[in-house]
């Protein structure tokens, strides 16, 4: 076990932090559309703050369920039944970083037709991952039900990574399946969604993949 992770676990035992929020918060924008997009949050500004609704522009064309993993648990504290209570048919999903991880895990628990993921971690568990970027968050996870990514055979995945060494590491762990398409963006770091947004390509990329028709 990595020393920083071990020290953080000790700190968490000594200084117990409590939250006044539920572990899963959902904002639902029901626009009476045929497609509902599940937008899973990234870590945002950190554990002291509730995440913002990410990819908000999608509310112009789809029903959108904004799902916030408040404790930054990489799906280990997510209320799956609560999410399912909003869903009917034609469910798609999207997420960046932790949100991408969470979206992919959910696709193995409920039918998701298409899913676009930006820079998901294959794992942040210190026993499985060589990437120590998120050890601080990993130290707060008490029960690891979801240690690494798993994929559905019925979901169509489009996954973007940057070309840094850490991005390539997580990308190398993605299984080779016909329903999984992986794209590496050149001269790009972890902020793959922002990279496409700055180049005015994000909305078009998402809508083309979701096959949006006016």
Q: Does residue 123 belong to any structural domain of this protein?
A: yes
pLDDT tens string 43-64: 998 777 899 999 999 999 999 9
CATH of residue 97's domain is: 3.40.50.1820
Q: Does residue 189 belong to any structural domain of this protein?
A: yes
The β-bridge relationship of strands 156-161 and 24-29 is unpaired
Q: Does residue 10 belong to any structural domain of this protein?
A: no
Q: What residues contact 25, with CB distance under 8 A and at least 6 apart? A: 50, 67, 68, 70
Q: Does residue 7 belong to any structural domain of this protein?
A: no
* 3-class SS shares of the chain: helix, strand, coil, % to 5: 30, 20, 55
Give the residue from 118, 107, 92 showing the smallest Cα distance to 33.
Answer: 92
Total structural domains within the chain: 1
pLDDT tens string 108-163: 999 999 999 999 999 999 999 999 999 999 999 999 999 999 999 999 999 999 99
DSSP secondary structure, 95-116, as one string: EETHHHHHHHHHHTTS--SEEE
Q: Does residue 12 belong to any structural domain of this protein?
A: no
Expressed as residue numbers, the domain containing 29 is 22-210
Q: Does residue 90 belong to any structural domain of this protein?
A: yes
Q: Does residue 11 belong to any structural domain of this protein?
A: no
Q: Does residue 169 belong to any structural domain of this protein?
A: yes
- Count of positions (residues) in the chain: 214
């Amino acid at each position: 076990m990595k020393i920083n992770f071990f020290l953080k676990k000790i700190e968490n035992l000594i200084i117990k932090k409590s939250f006044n929020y539920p572990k899963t918060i959902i904002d639902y924008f029901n626009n009476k559309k045929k497609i509902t997009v599940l937008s899973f949050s990234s870590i945002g500004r950190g554990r002291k703050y509730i995440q913002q609704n990410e990819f908000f522009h999608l509310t112009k064309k789809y029903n959108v369920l904004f799902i916030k993993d408040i404790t930054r648990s990489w799906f280990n504290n997510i209320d799956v039944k609560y999410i399912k209570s909003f869903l009917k048919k034609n469910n798609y999903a999207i997420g960046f970083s932790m949100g991408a991880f969470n979206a992919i895990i959910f696709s193995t628990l409920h039918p998701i037709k298409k899913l676009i993921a930006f820079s998901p971690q294959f794992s942040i568990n210190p026993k499985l991952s060589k990437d120590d970027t998120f050890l601080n968050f990993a130290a707060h996870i008490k029960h690891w039900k979801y240690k690494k990514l798993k994929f559905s055979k019925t979901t169509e995945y489009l996954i973007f990574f940057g070309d840094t060494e850490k991005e390539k590491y997580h990308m190398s762990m993605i299984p080779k399946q016909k329903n999984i398409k992986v794209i590496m963006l050149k001269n790009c770091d972890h902020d793959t969604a922002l990279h496409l947004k700055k180049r005015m390509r994000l909305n078009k990329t998402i809508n083309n993949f979701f096959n949006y028709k006016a």
